[in-house]
Structure 1
Amino acid sequence: MRNLFGNLFERWTENEMRITVVCALLSAVSLALSLTGTFSGVLPADIAWIAIVLCGFPILLGAARGVILEHDIKADLLVALALVASVGIREYFAAGEVALIMQIGSLLEDYTSEKARRGIEKLIGLKPWTARVRRDGSDVILPADEVRAGDVLTVFAGETIPADGTILEGRTSIDQSVMTGESIPVDKKEGDTVTSGTTNRFGTFSMRADRACGDSSLQRMIRLAEEADANKAPIVSLADRWATWLVAAALLCALLIWLFTGEFVRAVTALVVFCPCAFILATPTAVVAGIGNAARYGILIRSGDALERLSRVRRIAFDKTGTLTHGRPQVTAFRSLDASFTDDDILRLAARVERYSGHPLGKAVVASFQERTGEDPEPVSDSHTIAGRAVSGRIGGTEVAVGKAEYFASLGMPLNGAVEAADEYLGQGATVVCLSHGGKVVGLIALADTIRPEAGDTVRALESAGISCMLLTGDNERAARSAASAAGIADVRSDLLPEEKASVVKEYEDRGEPTCMIGDGVNDALALSSAYAGIAMGGIGSDIAVESADAVLVSDEIKHLPYLFRLMGKVMRKVRTNIIASLLINVSAVALSAAGALTPVTGALWHNFGSVFVVVNAALLLREKD
C-alpha cells in the first residue's frame, strides 16, 4: 500500500504546474487568514510568511540565478527587490500578495501556453514507437527508429503506420484525420501510399517503407513543431532588453520618491508596481497562442519571427503543380471518335489496356474508371509496353492500344480527326492520349492536373483582404494560363527556372511589397527560402521545400490561407495592445505611488492586474476559428 501511494504521489508531482497550484492555494489561504487576523498573537510570526516562502522563494531564487550565474537582469529581480523591501518595512501581507499574484500570473501564462501547444503536442503524440519488420521471412517487432527505406513492414488493424511507404499486399481503410482533416477513413489498396502517424482501421496489409522512420512526413512535422515551440520572435528579445532598463528606471524612481517625499513606504510601493511583468508577458503569450491556434488547423509555423513576417505579407506567389492543383494527373474528358463506340466504351477499353501500367497517366485512367464504375477493369491478353510511346493488348483477338497521336501517325494508322479534336483539350493545358482498336484511332482521353476546388475562393478571399496573388510556374504558358484562369489569378509568369522564381519574388519585395511564396517542390525551395516569408505544402511537398519554408500546410489545404493571414494580423495587434496597456498601467501606478494613493498592498493588486490582462487578452486568440 505504501508503494502504491508513493508511486501515485511521484506521478502526480511530475507535473510542476500541479505543485505550483498547491503552493498558490496554500498561500491564498494563509493571506486570507493574515488579512482577517485569525491567528494574530497565536503564532510566533505572521501567517503570511507561508505565502512569502512558498511563492516568494522561487522568485528570489530565479532572480539570484539570473544575476549571479547568467549575469542577466530579469523581471524576477524587481519582484525580489519589492519582496525584500516589503518584508523590511514589515508589510508581510503585501510581500505575500506580490509573490502570490506573480505565481498566479505565471500559472495563467503556463496554462495559456499549454493549451496553445495542444495541437502541436497531439501531432508529436502520434509518433509510433515500434514496427513489425520482415526479417528472414518472419515478422520481428523492432523500435520504429530502426526502420529503413526498403524494409517490408506488416501493419495490423488498429495500429499506427510507422513510416511513409507503399502498400504491397492487402486492402484497408486508413484514418488520416489527424494529418489531413478527412473525417472519413480513406480506402487503400496495392500501390497506394500511406503516411506515418495515420491509423490502419481495417484488415492487415504489408507495405514497403519508402523512407526511414526518422525521415517520415510525421517526423518532419514534429521537428517543425519543436522549432516553433522553442523559437522566440525578435520582439520578445527586445522586450527582455527593455526589461533591464526598466529595472534601472524603477530603482531610480524609487530612490527619487524616497528623497523627495521622505517616505520609504512610497518608494517600496513604486518598486512593487514598476515590475515589468506584464510588459515581458505581452509578446510571448500572444505569439504562442497564435502558433498553437494555427496548429489546430494543420498549419505549423516555424517560429515567432516567421509569424511576425507572415503578418506583414502583402503579396502571395503561388506555385502551380501541387499547390494550386492536386499535383497528379486526372481524367478530365473522354470522347469517342467512332460511332461504333460510346464515350464510356473508350474509357473502359483504355482502362483495361492500362490496368497494369506503371505510368502516371495510365494509373489515372484506371483510377477514373474505378471511380466512375466501382469496378476493376478486366485484364487483356498479350499486354506489352512500347517504351515511352504506348501500351497495347488484345481484347477478343483484336489489338487495342493507348498512346499519343504521333505514335499512331508514325504507324500510318487513320487518326479519324483525333488531332483536331485534341486541340480543344490541349488549349486547356491537358495531355491527350488516343485509343486505337483494330488498326484505327477510335477515341481520345484528356488528362490534366486539375485545379483544387477551393483555389478560386481562396484567391478571392486573399484579394479581399488586400493581399495580391500571382502565379509562378515552370510549366508552359498554356497550362499556366488555364490554371490561373480557373483560380482567378491575373498575374501569371510561366516557363520559369528556380532562380527565376526567386528573382521575381525579389523584384516585388524591392518595390516594397513583402511577398510570400507558396510551393511544394524542390524547384520551389530557392524561392521559399529567399522570399520574405515561405509556406510549403507539407503533405506532398519535398523535404527541401518544407525545410526552406517558414510555415507548413500539413494537410495541403490552401483554403486555410485567408484564416492564417487574418490570424497573424490579429496576433500582432494583440502584441501591440498588450505592450501599450502594460506600459500605461506601470506608468500610472508609479505616479499614484509617488502621490501616496497606493500602498504596497493596493499597488501589488494594481500592477498585477496588468499581467493578468495581457495573459487573458492573448488567450482570447485561442478562440479564433477558421
Structure 2
Amino acid sequence: MTRFAKWFTKNPVPTVSGALILLSFAVGRIAGGAADLTLTPRWWLDAGEHATDAGTFTISGALMIAAALVAGYGIVVKAARALAVRTVGIDLLVSVAAIGAIVIGNFWEAAAVTFLFAVGHALEAATLNKTRSALAALVAVAPDSAVVLRDGEQVEIPAGQVRMGETVLVKNGAKVPVDGDVVGGTGAIDEASITGESIPVEKSDGDRVFAGTVSRGGFLQVRATGVGADTTLARIIHRVEEAQDAKARTQAFIDRFSRWYTPGVMALALVAGLISGDIVLALTLLVIGCPGALVISIPVAIVAGIGRAARYGILIKGGEFLETSAKITAVALDKTGTLTEGRPELTDIVVLDPAHTRTDVLRWAAAAEAGSEHPLARPILETAAAHGVAPRGIPAEVLPVPGKGIVATVDGAVVLVGNPPLLDQHGLPADAVERAAGAAAELAAAGRTPMIVAVDGAVIGVVAVADRIRTDAREMVTRLHAAGVKRVVMLTGDARPVADAVSAATGIDEVHASLLPEDKLDVVADLQRRGHVVAMVGDGVNDAPALATADIGVAMGAAGSAVAVETADIALMGDNLLRLPEAIGLARRTTRVMRQNITIALVTVALLLAGVFAGGVTMSLGMLVHEASVLIVIVNGMRLLRGAAAGPRATAVAESPQPAEAAAV
C-alpha cells in the first residue's frame, strides 16, 4: 500500500467525504454532461436547462450534503464544546459558514469547505506526530526484558520487574535494561540514545551504564541503581514530552490573539453581510478569516525543534526556553569540568632545597594531603602511590587554612602545603618565600596550579597540578561566536595566571578568576545589566546561584543526574562541548521558522480578504488557498528535523598547554 493510500486509511472522515464529492460530480456528469460541472457555486440550480432527469441532480446535491455532513460533524461538535466553555475558535467559523452555505443552497461550497478543513486538520495531526518522532524513538529504545542473577541462576524477566541492587547481565547486542554500575566484565556500550554520541564507550568496573543503551561487544555485570520510571531514559522521555507540550511566549501570544481575532472575523462578516446584503460574501469572509495556519505555525516549529535537539542529546525544557536561547548574546562557562576535563593530574615537581630529591618533595606533599578533602589532593596521592611513596596513614593533625592551603603534622614534623601567604603566616624566611613564589608564578603562568611544600620551616619544593583542557574547547568558542554569541566568559575560582593560560588556549573573550560561588552570581548579573541575555554553563552544585540568575541555565554531562535533567533549562546529556553551540544555533533556526510561518499565515489571510472584497475569491477557492498555506507552514516547520548535529569532537587544539603525563614527574 502506498503512503498516500495509508494516509487515507488512517483518516476515514476526509476519505469518505472526498469520495462522496467525487461521486456527486460523477452523477452530475452522467446526467447533464461535462458542461454542467463547472465550479460555479450554484451549478445544480440550472439543471433544468441542460438535463431531462432533474432527479439525478437532486441525488447529486444530496451527495454533496452528505459529504458536508461527514466532514463537518466533528467540526460542529468541537465548536459546540468550545462554546460551552465560552471559547470562540476556528471550528465555529467553519461550522457557521458550512451550515449557512447549505441553508442558501450552496451545497458544493459547504462540502468543499468542510472537506478541505478536515484534510487540513488531519495533516496538522500527522505533522505533529511526525515532529514527535524523536520522542517515539526514545520510547522505542526502552528495553522490554532483563536477565538477572537470582539464587545463582540467570532469569529473564520484564525490565520493569528488576529490583534495586540486583545484578543484571548485559550480553553483546542486548539493551541495557536499568541504570547501574558495572561490577564485573568489560564491554562497549552505544550511548547514542542518551548522549547523542554515536561512538561506543568502553565500560569496566565502576563505570555507569544507562537503560536503553546497547551493548556492542563484551559482557557486563551491572548492579541496578535505577529501575523503571527512575531511569535516566524514563526521565528524558518525561522531560521531552513535557517540553513539546509547553508553550513559547510567542505561541501564548498567538493564542491570546486568536481569542480576539476569531470573534473579530465573525463581527466583520456580519457587518459586511448586513451592509452588502450578500450572505455569500459574509460566509466567505468567515472561511477566509480562519487563522488555521497562524495557530499551527508555532507548535509545529517548537515540537520539531525540541524533538530534533533531543535526538542529539540536548534536552530543552520547553518552548519558552527554546525561544530565550535564540536571544543568547553571552555565555558564562565554569572552568573546571566544563572547559577542562575535571580530573587534575600532577604535572610538575620542582626541588628548591638541594638536600631533598623530587621523591622527597612528593612524599612529604602526599603525607600532608592524606588528611585533606581538597580535590587537588587526589592527583598528588595517586602519583605518590604510583611511585611507591604513598602515605601509610593519615597525619596526626591537619589544619585547613581557607584560601591558603593546609598545615599537617607528619611523624612529628610540621608540613605546609599551600601558597606564599601561608608561608608568610608561619614566619618562614622572606628570601625562601620569595624564591618559592617565583617558581610558583612560573608554573601558574603555564596553566598549572602550584603548591609550595615546606617542612619544619624550610621550603623544599613546589608541586603543581593541572586540569587537562578539553580538546574541543577552542572549537566550541569559535562555534559560539559563529552562532551569534558576542561574549564568551570564563568564571573560575582558580588564580588569575591559571585562568589566563586557559583563556589563551581556548579563545575566551573575558576572564574572571579567584571567584567564590556568590561572586559568579555577581558576574552573571553584571552581564545582564550590560544588556546581555546570559546562558550559564556549570555543574549545578557550587554554580547553583549563577545558574539560577542566568536567563538560561545549562547543565553539562547531565546523563544520570536526575536533578540536572529535571531542573536545567537546557541539559546536555553528554560531555561534548560542541552540543552547546548546536543548541543555540538550533534555537535561532527555530525562531526564524516561527517568524516565517507567522508571516506566511498573516499575508495569506490579508490577500484572501482583499480578494473576497474584490470579488475574485469564492468560499471553496478561499478554503483551498487557506489549507495550502497551512501545508506550507507545516513543510517549513518540518525543515527543522533535517540536517546534521554538531560535528565530531575536535582532535586537537593548536598551542593548547597540555600538562605532562603524571608518570613523567
Give the TM-score, by structure 2 length. 0.74
1:534 aligns with 2:550: no
Provide the C-alpha distance between the structure 1 equivalents of 2:274 and 2:223, rounded to a whole number of angstroms. 79
SS at match of 2:310: helix
Deviation at 1:445, TM superposition (A): 9.4
1:149 Cα offset (Å): 5.2
Aligned partner of residue 471 in structure 1, secondary structure: strand
Please list the CA deviations of residues 47-71 of structure 1 after superposition, one character each: whole Å capped at 9, or x if unmatched.
3345323322221121112112x33
Distance 1:366 1:91 in 2: 89
- Answer whether contact 2:317 2:570 (CA < 8 A) is retained: yes
Shift of 1:286: 1.6
What amino acid is aligned across from residue 498 of structure 1 in structure 2?
A: P
**One-letter code aligned to 2:273:** W
- Pick closer, same or farther for the CA change 1:202–1:462 going to 2, 3 Å: closer
Deviation at 1:249, TM superposition (A): 1.5
- For the residues of structure 2 that align with 1:543 and 1:569, how far apart are their CA atoms? 28
Which one-letter code corresponds to 1:197 in the other structure? G
How far off is 1:110 after superposition? 2.7
Which residue in the other structure is 2:331 paired with?
A: 316
**Cα distance in 2 between the residues matched to 1:475 and 1:606:** 62
Residue 262 of structure 1, CA deviation: 1.5
Does residue 119 (structure 1) correspond to residue 137 (structure 2)? The answer is no
Q: Which moved more, 1:295-304 or 1:532-541?
A: 532-541
Match of 2:342 among 309, 324, 327: 327
In 1, Cα distance between equivalents of 2:190 and 2:378: 23
Matches within 5 A, 1:390-469: 425=443, 427-430=445-448, 448-464=466-482, 465-469=484-488
Partner residue in 1 for 2:618 = 599
CA contact (8 A) 1:132 1:154 kept: yes
> Matched residues, percent identical?
36
Structure 1 residues 330, 249: closer, same or farther in 2, change over 3 A?
Answer: same
Residue 299 (structure 2) pairs with residue 280 (structure 1): no
Alignment of 1:344-363 (within 5 A): none
Q: 2:503 aligns with which of 484, 488, 491?
A: 484
Cα 1:213/1:268, change in 2 over 3 Å: closer
Amino acid in structure 2 at the alignment position of 1:28: G
Call closer, same or farther: CA 1:427–1:60 in 2, change over 3 Å.
same
Which of these two proteins has the greater Rg computed from alpha carbons?
Answer: 2
Contact 1:94–1:604 (Cα < 8 Å) also in 2: no
Confirm or deny that 1:66 pairs with 2:77. no
The 1:550/1:167 distance shift into structure 2, 3 A limit, reads: same
1:346 — aligned with what? none
Conservation of the 8 A alpha-carbon contact between 2:187 and 2:215: yes
Match of 1:616 in 2: 635
Q: 1:122 to 1:248 in 2, by over 3 A?
A: same
Most deviating of 185-194 and 417-426: 417-426
Question: Offset of 1:410 from its aligned partner?
Answer: 9.0
Would you say the 8 A contact 1:86–1:95 is kept in 2? yes
Residues 24 and 379 of structure 1, relative CA distance in 2, 3 Å threshold? farther
Identify which of 44, 50, 54 aligns with 2:70.
54
Is 1:81 the counterpart of 2:99? The answer is no
Match of 1:30 in 2: 20
Matches of 1:112 and 1:367, distance apart in 2: 56
Cα distance in 1 between the residues matched to 2:472 and 2:63: 64
**Structure 2: distance between partners of 1:601 and 1:559:** 50
| One-letter code aligned to 1:24 | P
1:91 corresponds to: 106
Partner of 1:173: 188
The answer for the alignment partner of 1:371 in structure 2 is none
Q: What is the distance in 2 between the residues matched to 1:170 and 1:309?
A: 45
Partner of 2:207 in structure 1?
A: 192
Partner of 2:526: 507
Change (3 A) 1:556 1:49: farther
Distance 1:215 1:428 in 2: 44
Question: Match of 1:62, as an amino acid?
Answer: K
How far apart, CA to CA, are the structure 1 residues paired with 2:177 and 2:598?
45
- Report which stretch shifted further, 234-243 or 214-223: 214-223
5+ residue gaps, structure 1 = 1-15, 338-342, 344-358, 369-376, 390-403, 435-442
The answer on whether the counterparts of 2:168 and 2:223 sit within 8 Å (CA) in structure 1 is: yes
DSSP-derived class of the 2:504 partner: helix
Question: Do the aligned partners of 1:522 and 1:545 also contact (CA within 8 Å) in 2?
Answer: no
Inter-CA distance 499–140: structure 2 relative to 1 (3 Å threshold): farther
Secondary structure, counterpart of 1:516 in structure 2 = strand
CA–CA distance in structure 1, aligned partners of residues 101 and 168 of structure 2: 66
Which residue in the other structure is 1:259 paired with?
274
User: Cα gap change, 1:336/1:462 in structure 2, threshold over 3 Å: closer, same or farther?
Assistant: same
Q: Deviations over 1:442-497 (max 9, x none)?
A: x9997533222121122122224243110123444444333333221131223433
Alpha-carbon distance, 1:310 to partner:
0.8
2:143 aligns to what?
Answer: 128
Residues 288-318 of structure 1: per-residue CA shift (max 9 Å, x gap): 2222222232212111111111111111111
Counterpart secondary structure, 2:536: strand
Aligned letter for 1:200? S
CA distance in 2, matches of 1:334, 1:542: 37
Distance 2:587 2:66 in 1: 43
Give the Cα–Cα distance (whole angstroms) in 2 for the partners of residues 418 and 560 of structure 1. Answer: 42
Q: Structure 1 counterpart of 2:531, which letter?
A: G
In 2 relative to 1, CA 55–428 (structure 1 residues): closer, same or farther, beyond 3 Å?
A: farther
Cα deviations by residue, 1:383-431 (Å, 9 ceiling, x for unpaired): 9854489xxxxxxxxxxxxxx9x99999899xxx999988755544446
> Residue 294 of structure 1 aligns to a residue in which SS?
helix
Deviation at 1:581, TM superposition (A): 2.7
Which amino acid in the other structure matches residue 563 of structure 2?
I
Q: Shift of the alpha carbon at 1:141?
A: 4.7
TM-score with structure 1 length normalisation?
0.78
Deviates more, 1:201-210 or 1:163-172: 201-210
Q: C-alpha distance in 2, partners of 1:445/1:167?
A: 34
Contact kept in structure 2, 1:228 and 1:303, CA below 8 Å: yes
Give the SS at the match of 2:218: coil
Structure 1 counterpart of 2:182, one-letter code? I
Q: Which amino acid aligns with 1:613?
A: I
Query: Which amino acid letter does the alignment assign opposite residue 466 of structure 2?
Result: A
SS at structure 2 position matched to 1:202: strand
Take 1:125 and 1:115, find their aligned partners in 2: how far apart are those partners? 15
State how 1:545-624 maps to structure 2 within 5 Å. 545-624=564-643
Distance in 1, matches of 2:559 and 2:250, equals 33
Q: Is the 8 A contact 1:469 1:489 kept in 2?
A: yes
Conserved 8 A contact 1:522-1:544: no
Secondary structure of 1:522's counterpart equals coil
In the TM superposition, residue 336 of structure 1 has moved relative to its aligned partner by 13
1:509-532 deviation per Cα after TM superposition (whole angstroms, max 9, x unaligned) = 233211111122322333223311
Q: Counterpart in 2 of 1:353?
A: none
Counterpart of 1:236 (choices 245, 248, 251) is 251
The alpha carbon displacement at 1:133 in A equals 4.1
Quick check: 534-543 or 443-452, which moved more? 443-452
Residues 528, 534 of structure 1: 8 Å contact kept: yes
Q: Is the 8 A contact 2:236 2:565 kept in 1?
A: no
Distance in 2 of aligned mates of 1:549 and 1:313: 16
CA distance in 1 between partners of 2:9 and 2:351 (Å): 75
Alpha-carbon distance in 2 for matches of 1:302, 1:225: 7
Mark the CA change 1:39 to 1:495 in structure 2 (over 3 Å): closer, same or farther: farther
| Aligned-partner Cα distance in 1 for 2:293–2:542 | 45
Distance 1:126 1:306, change over 3 A: same
Higher mean C-alpha displacement, 39-48 vs 292-301: 39-48
Query: How far apart are the structure 1 equivalents of 2:65 and 2:548?
Result: 55
